[in-house]
A and B are shown apart, each in its own frame.
Chain A
Amino acid sequence: MNQKTFRIAIGLLLILAMALGACTPETITVVETVEVEKEVEVPVEKEVEVLVAKDVLIYNSMHGDPDPRAADEEIVKMFMEANPDIEVVHSIVAHEDFKQAIRAYLTASTPPDVMTWFAGNRARFFIDNGQIMDISDVWESEGWNESYPKGFQALSTVDGKQYFLPTSWYWWAVYYRVSIFEELGLEPPETWEEFLAVNETLKENGYTPLAIGTKYRWTAAAWFDYLNMRINGPEFHINLMLGKESYDDPRVAKVFEYWRVLLDNGYFLEDAAAYSWSEALEPFIAGEAAMYLMGDFIRDSLPDEIESDVDFFRFPIIDPSMPIGEDAPTDGYFIAANATNVEAAKKFLAYLGSVEVQTYNAEKLGRLPTNSGVDRSMFTETQQKGMALIDGADFVAQFYDRDTTPEMADEGMNAFMAFWDDPDSIDVLLADLELARKEIFEGE
């Protein structure tokens, strides 16, 4: 009897040992291949077939949604038709998974040659790590230094070299209800004084001048971005985002002085912290609030009947001597620094940035082009106005939480909320932010 139990026990132990043994190698492979493998659709047989005859270019993209996915695949097909000597091995990974996987891609010994990514700090991080290739020669040979608006050029450039190809984007602006402005005889303000006057008139007439919902904090970050760029210029703003300027700089304090005027005068929607951005849209749609600083995606949420009653204007200029920066979150492409097939990769990138592909994306997906060579007559009047807005910008910022590191963005947005609640606390808040900046960027 005892012998029997003993054997069973040993038997169970063995099973466990085998189970554990079977587990171990698997965990190792997971590390190597990244957990998103299942999503990857690599046409393996094809790859083997052509390895001998063709150049293989590996392209990983994050266009996981059905329509962008179809367009992405079609573009790869068109490229291969135009370049029969290159075989593009294309993998599409869902957006969120791609964000997780990109670090593993870039640290692999043979990274994918071409990848999709976000412009701004999220690309800058990899550029500073030496993981993204300098593609100044592609910019030069394709003439993008002329055909791309200067804001996008500056966005792709680090220390005079281009590393990124921006392709699709949307703009931010102050949206307003045309009917309210007409009723009160208001014009879209261009300067800060005009802006304050418009706010005052709206308030006197019983309207909420500025809709905003700060439940998720980021809407307030837009105000910081714009005020900082208008007061201190985009260069200071970006350096602050990169941790190269300090938050206890008097220039940053000045941003909050301007901001405070709007808060103290009660121009913002009451109880803003109770609403998300789309909830704060309700008073704007109902015609109770007149203006809303928001990204162009706002128009997707407007009912058809008021869409014609909504227009937008550039965030007012505060210091005319400063270059103009605009928030326009941009996606695009880059080549990995140790890409295997550099020549084919550059050819593909040149194709992606071409008028042909950008026109295709505009037609299929309604994407706004970065290449000025694209015929603008196919876009709506609003879209053309948005493009003109960016044409006039000297620098294109990506938005607070994309321009700085995630940790810093978190600290910053918490401080914006605390400031909103208690504007008197700004000195303490900025001192804390400066401590956080030192810790995050300088490791102190």
Chain B
Amino acid sequence: MASIRRNIVPYLFLIIPVLIYLVWVIGPMFYTFYLSLTNWDGLTTPSFIGFRNYERLFRDKVFFISLVNNLKWLISFITIPVVLGLGLAMALNKAIPGEKIFKMNFYMPMVLAMVVSGIIWGWMYHPKGGLINTALVASGLVEKGPGWLSDRDIVLWSIIIVAIWRQVGYVMVLYLAGLKSINPQLLEAATVDGANSWQSFWRILLPLLTPVTIIVLVISVIDSLRAFDLSTITRWATELLLL
């Protein structure tokens, strides 16, 4: 009797969160999926139409454009910051003068709110008065700078650059922590055995950094799903100049 009770009690405690979870998370999830199979204006009774909404979605060109854009974003966002961040971490993991200042500066973009980064870059990208185009024109390289945020072919990359600029410092800090935890004796032993620095990077450092790399990749994938705010704000930024 007592053991049965002991088995039941934890479940009784679980009932409450499970109920809440069922009612507010799982239930709506299924209900939302059901709604996606209906034609509904939000007021009248939903009428069941099967998978027609999905058919429409897959016929929609905008959907594919945004899908491809998301893929471009995801791939650049998980490769470029990782490579650059690791490179920076390797470079700054030595006792060079002012390394703290370098680290701080590289990490700084991450400290800024997404909104602030978006606004700063939005201003820099301004087609006429922005820092980038003003510099390009002043240097005599071009007569007229590109429309960073108005040209359909480059706007995505303009915003990806902002996202990468923001992420690199963060990745660098994660790798710096990982590098600190690696026993320097391993590297010394490798050097004694005649390994060059290229070999000790690929054979020793990188494998030992695998846990960090996994964390970095997971975080990058999650962060890449939050591209909305940055792209919205960067485009909206020049508006603020008028306020």
Min Cβ gap B119→A in Å is: 14
B5-24: which residues lie under 8 A (CB-CB) from chain A? 5-6, 8-9, 12-13, 15-16, 19-20, 23
Contacts of B148 in A (CB 8 A): 274
The distance in angstroms between the C-alpha atoms of A104 and B20, with both chains bound, is 30
Q: Say which one of B86-94, B101-109, B235-243 lies at the interface with A.
A: B235-243
Query: Is A270 an interface position by the 8 A CB rule?
Result: yes
Query: Is A107 an interface position by the 8 A CB rule?
Result: yes
The 3 A-B pairs of least Cβ separation, nearest first, read A273-B150, A274-B150, A9-B12
Query: Is B178 an interface position by the 8 A CB rule?
Result: no
Query: Is B126 an interface position by the 8 A CB rule?
Result: yes
Query: Is B180 an interface position by the 8 A CB rule?
Result: no
24 A–B contacts from the bound complex (CB under 8 Å): A2-B2, A2-B5, A2-B9, A6-B12, A9-B9, A9-B12, A9-B13, A12-B13, A13-B12, A20-B23, A103-B41, A107-B43, A270-B147, A271-B127, A271-B128, A271-B147, A273-B149, A273-B151, A274-B147, A274-B150, A276-B238, A279-B238, A279-B239, A421-B152
Find A439's partner among B2, B8, B56, B238 (CB 8 Å cutoff).
B56
**CB-based contact B126/A274 at 8 Å:** yes
Contacts of B238 in A (CB 8 A): 274-276, 279
The distance in angstroms between the C-alpha atoms of A51 and B174, with both chains bound, is 73
Query: Is A16 an interface position by the 8 A CB rule?
Result: yes
* A 2-21 binary contact with B (CB < 8 Å = 1; else 0): 10011001101100100010
Query: Is A383 an interface position by the 8 A CB rule?
Result: no
- Given A272-B150, A274-B127, A275-B238, also A13-B16 (CB < 8 A): yes
Query: Is B96 an interface position by the 8 A CB rule?
Result: no
Query: Is B62 an interface position by the 8 A CB rule?
Result: yes
Task: Name B's A-contacting residues (CB within 8 A).
Answer: 2, 5-6, 8-9, 12-13, 15-16, 19-20, 23, 41-44, 56, 59, 61-62, 126-128, 144, 147-152, 235, 238-239, 241-242
Min Cβ gap B69→A in Å is: 14
**CB-based contact B150/A2 at 8 Å:** no
Find B43's partner among A6, A12, A104, A215 (CB 8 Å cutoff).
A104
Secondary structure type dominating chain A contacts: helix
Min Cβ gap A204→B in Å is: 19
Contacts of B61 in A (CB 8 A): 432
Query: Is A278 an interface position by the 8 A CB rule?
Result: yes
The distance in angstroms between the C-alpha atoms of A373 and B128, with both chains bound, is 49
Contacts of A16 in B (CB 8 A): 16, 19-20
Query: Is A414 an interface position by the 8 A CB rule?
Result: yes
**CB-based contact A276/B239 at 8 Å:** yes
The distance in angstroms between the C-alpha atoms of A20 and B22, with both chains bound, is 13
The distance in angstroms between the C-alpha atoms of A275 and B13, with both chains bound, is 57
Find A270's partner among B23, B42, B62, B127 (CB 8 Å cutoff).
B127
The distance in angstroms between the C-alpha atoms of A273 and B148, with both chains bound, is 10
Min Cβ gap B142→A in Å is: 14
Min Cβ gap A336→B in Å is: 15
Contacts A9-B15, A274-B150 supplied; 19 other A-B pairs, CB < 8 Å: A5-B9, A9-B12, A9-B13, A10-B12, A13-B16, A16-B19, A20-B23, A103-B41, A103-B42, A273-B149, A274-B147, A274-B238, A275-B150, A275-B238, A278-B242, A421-B152, A432-B61, A435-B59, A439-B56
Interface centre among A2, A12, A274 (most CB of B within 10 A): A274
**CB-based contact B242/A279 at 8 Å:** yes
Closest to B61 in A: A432
**CB-based contact A2/B62 at 8 Å:** no
The distance in angstroms between the C-alpha atoms of A414 and B62, with both chains bound, is 9
Contacts of B23 in A (CB 8 A): 20
**CB-based contact A215/B19 at 8 Å:** no
Contacts of B20 in A (CB 8 A): 16
Min Cβ gap B50→A in Å is: 13
Min Cβ gap B239→A in Å is: 6
Contacts of A274 in B (CB 8 A): 126-127, 147-150, 238
The distance in angstroms between the C-alpha atoms of A432 and B239, with both chains bound, is 32
Closest to A16 in B: B16
**CB-based contact A215/B235 at 8 Å:** yes
Min Cβ gap B137→A in Å is: 13
**CB-based contact B16/A271 at 8 Å:** no
Min Cβ gap A122→B in Å is: 14
Interface centre among B5, B43, B150, B241 (most CB of A within 10 A): B150
Min Cβ gap A130→B in Å is: 14
Closest to A273 in B: B150
The distance in angstroms between the C-alpha atoms of A323 and B235, with both chains bound, is 40
Contacts of A271 in B (CB 8 A): 127-128, 147, 150-151
Closest to A275 in B: B238
Contacts of B235 in A (CB 8 A): 215
The distance in angstroms between the C-alpha atoms of A12 and B15, with both chains bound, is 10
Min Cβ gap B29→A in Å is: 18
